Amino acid sequence: MDLGLEGKSAIVTGGSLGIGTSVALALAREGCDVAINYRRHDDEAKEVVRRIEAMGRRGLAVKADVSSYTDAENMVRTVVETFGRLDILVCNAGINWDGVIWKMSEEQWDTVINVNLKGYFNYNKAAAMVFKDRKGGKIVNISSINGMRGKFAQSNYAASKGGEIALSKSLARELGKFNVNVNVVSPGLVMTDMARNMPPEALNKSMSETVVGRIATADECADLVVFLCSDRARHITGEVIKIDGGQYI
């Protein structure tokens, strides 16, 4: 199935690990040049670029702080100059720093909000300015079902993820007339390093919440993201699509 992605250019934030890596490689597989943002994992980021280039596409790794608008603006500018265009933004970079509200510090709150919510604002704004001028583009923001239902000891994380959803719906309204689609993918627990490092009882509890008896892989999340970035999804915008095996229900 031709998804119409051949020759397009994409940015994936948080692309050196987990869902971000799977998304970056899936987009390259469909013919995109892909730039990834990362903060700490230099070797992993270089490996992602190597794998993108092995598919015959151009890859780029940019070390940048997503909570800095200047870094976001500079990355978008660098990608446009290097690849000659920008068609797709996938915001995925995020952190968690859990604690019940009566023990949560101001630093815990501010750090998670600055990365997860302000970081999405920074890249969405920088990319939207490009997309608005060229009259086209795709934005997919990776949120979480916990931004829709809340989660014990994750008030900062859940608030940031709920904010990403509200941000995306607002941008879908603002950018629709410029032929820009903005959608949200909300995973449940996904089998990434974070899940593998969870205590077995917590992992089993999350798995028992699903109706399919397992949790998603990063590649399954990437398949949905790629579809939303494609021409096949040109009439879909402002949507929040859960990929959780029924964990939310």
Active site residues per annotation: 157
Q: SS3 of 101, please?
A: coil
Chain-centre distance of CA 243, in angstroms?
13
Buried b (16+ CB within 10 A) or exposed e, 183-209: bbbbbbbbbbeebeeeeeeebeebbeb
Helix spans in 30-118 (H): 42-54, 69-83, 106-113
E strand intervals along the chain: 9-12, 33-38, 59-63, 88-91, 137-142, 180-187, 190-191, 216-217, 240-243
Q: What whole-number distance in Å separates Cα of residue 107 and Cα of residue 7?
A: 42
